[in-house]
Structure formats: C-alpha cells, structure tokens
Structure 1
Amino acid sequence: MLSLPPRPGAAPRVFGPAPHGQASQISPIMVQEELWERMRALPFVYMAPTLVSVSHARSLFLPEGIGTGPAEAFQGGREFAHIHPHHDGSLHVTLPKDIEAEVIDAGWGVHHPVQDVTLIYGPRNSAELEIAWRIVQESYWYALGAK
C-alpha cells in the first residue's frame, strides 16, 4: 500500500479514449521534466517511441530478459509507462489492481476507458511530483516482477 493522501481540489478534465489525456490543470513544464528525468534514470530502462500513445509521448521500456512482471505489467511490447507531451503532462502507467484502486480512490488518476492502464494526473507542484514519482516507481517494480 502507498498510503496516498487525497489529491487536493477537483479532478482535472480528461478526454478520450483515443487519445486519452488531461485537458485542464496542466502540470508546469519544469515539473514534467523533473518527473521525466527521474523516470528515465530508473535502472535498466530504455527510451523508445511509444507503441500505444500519441507520437510525441516519451516512453519507458524494459529490455527482454530484465524483470519477471506479468504481461499485464506492460502496455505494448515491453513499454510500462509513458508521459504525454507538454500540452497535456499526464502519464499512463501499468499498476497492480490494488495499487491502481488506491491511486483512483485518492484522486490521483483514473482507469483508461479501453486499455488496462491508469492515467496519472500531471503533478502541479513539487509535493504532487513526489506522489507521481511514487506511483511511477510502483509501475516499474510491477514490470520488474518485484510487486
């Protein structure tokens, strides 16, 4: 369990299902970039064009042979997370069902209407960045098979 605090304020507007993203309360670009820097520094990950999102999304993959996560831990191929372009700032991650339920119940994201992934709202400040980072780490550990 993450023991997430409730996300302050109303939920942002989302659109979708294809593409699926965030239309209001957009994360400041510098906060998005800090989250991306942390994401791409995770051990063993590599960046490649997304297999499931809009063309300018930045995606993380695990190489074949690294990790033992279930098929559900990946969005397409070995992709487990991606962050949307700056005009959106949200991200999609795969999560175990209990973690996803906690994220949604605390108001930090929503389940994708078609795919088996979670939309995490873009962090609006440094405190929310820490929450988003914890959620991304859960997705990473799930893909590795550590969850």
Structure 2
Amino acid sequence: MTQTLNLPQRVGPRPKTTHGLPHSQVTQHGLNHIVDQMRDWAFALPDVENQHSLASVPGARAMVMHEGAECNHDAFMIGREIAHIHPHPDNGSMHVQLPKDDALEVVEKGWGEHHTLVDLGRRPVGLVMVYSPRDEADLAIIKSILGRSYDYATGTRLAA
C-alpha cells in the first residue's frame, strides 16, 4: 500500500460539522439514492458484514470484517469495525480508519476531517470523518477512500 490515493481537490466549501461527540456532518448531505449506492457497494465487499456500529450513533451501519477473515488489526476502529456510515439526519457521512498518509491526504484535499478524538490527542492520525457524497462524481471518490480502508484491513488491493 505504498501508492497514495491521489485524490483530486474536493470542489466547494467544506460542509459544517460538529466537533464534539457525536462528531457529525450538518450540511451538504448527498441525495438518498447516491448514499444508498455507496452503502450497497460497501456492504457487498468480500468478508464485510453490515452490523450495528459499536462506536457510533443509533442507526449507524458498520463495515465489520468477518470473523474468519485475516486482517490487519491496526485497521480496526473498535472490534473488527473498519468504518461506519451515519444515518439520517447525518445521511452518508462516515468515520473510516485509514493509514496515516491516506488520512492526511483525505483531510488536505477536502474530502473529510480528523475525528474529534484525533484532534483531542486521544486517537492517532488515521481516523477520519469522510463527508457524504453529493453526486456521482463524489461517490466515485468516496468509494476509493472506503476501498483504501478495506485494503488496509485486508492487506489486499481492490480492483479499480
């Protein structure tokens, strides 16, 4: 995983977010059908189970690696959870565990921000909130970020 994500700069201003707990996105949520496409894609990945998040608000759906899958435990947020997708009203934003350099790129290019716990020094750089995809173009970028989280967990590389 030495290659960078090579993300484009996100167009437009960053959405408004909260900086306490829960850490959530307040504006610029994607349309339901875009967010549904993202969820469908994420939960169709091999060895990923759709479960209640152990670390998020009620209704958040977690990408949890199957118990039998060999994984990099540094990629887990809690338990075997590598990411979780927030429910309404914070539709489609998510917290994702990434390698440090990828997390820094996501923040630098405007696709997300460090989790509140990272800002407080209670978690290492790598845990980011990725903003909700606003349209099909955003969806493709968000899939690449979620794919990197999956790659980090599995030690494999998803086909582009």
Whether TM exceeds 0.5 here: the answer is yes
Separation (CA, whole Å) in 1 of partners of 2:43 and 2:68: 19
TM superposition shift of 1:16: 3.1
CA distance in 2, matches of 1:85, 1:68: 27
8 Å contact 1:12–1:24 — kept in the other structure?
yes
Aligned length: 146
SS in 2 for 1:15: coil
1:8 aligns to 2:11 (yes or no): yes
Deviation at 1:75, TM superposition (A): 1.0
Equivalent-residue separation in structure 2 for 1:130 and 1:74 (angstroms): 23
Q: Distance in 1 between matches of 2:156 and 2:129?
A: 22
Question: SS state of the match for residue 14, structure 1?
Answer: coil
Cα distance in structure 2, aligned partners of 1:48 and 1:91: 14
Identical aligned pairs, as a percentage?
41
CA distance in 2 between counterparts of 1:95 and 1:39 reads 15
1:99 and 2:109 are equivalent in the alignment: no
Structure 1 residue ranges, 4+ long, deviating more than 3 angstroms after superposition: none
**Counterpart residue identity of residue 19, structure 1:** P
TM-score by length of 2: 0.87
Q: Which residue of 2 aligns with 1:44?
A: 47
Partners of 1:145 and 1:17 in 2: CA distance: 32
Q: CA deviation at 1:99?
A: 0.7
Match of 1:66 in 2: 69
1:4, distance to aligned residue in structure 2 (A):
0.6
Are the aligned partners of 2:53 and 2:60 in contact in 1 as well (CA < 8 Å)? yes
Amino acid at match of 1:45: V
1:146 corresponds to which letter in structure 2?
A: T
Alpha-carbon distance in 1 for matches of 2:153, 2:80 = 9
- 1:1-147 matched pairs, under 5 angstroms: 1-69=4-72, 71-88=73-90, 89-114=92-117, 116=123, 117-146=127-156
Contact 1:94–1:118 (CA under 8 A) maintained in structure 2: yes
Shift of residue 86 of structure 1? Answer: 2.9
Alpha-carbon distance in 2 for matches of 1:3, 1:101: 12
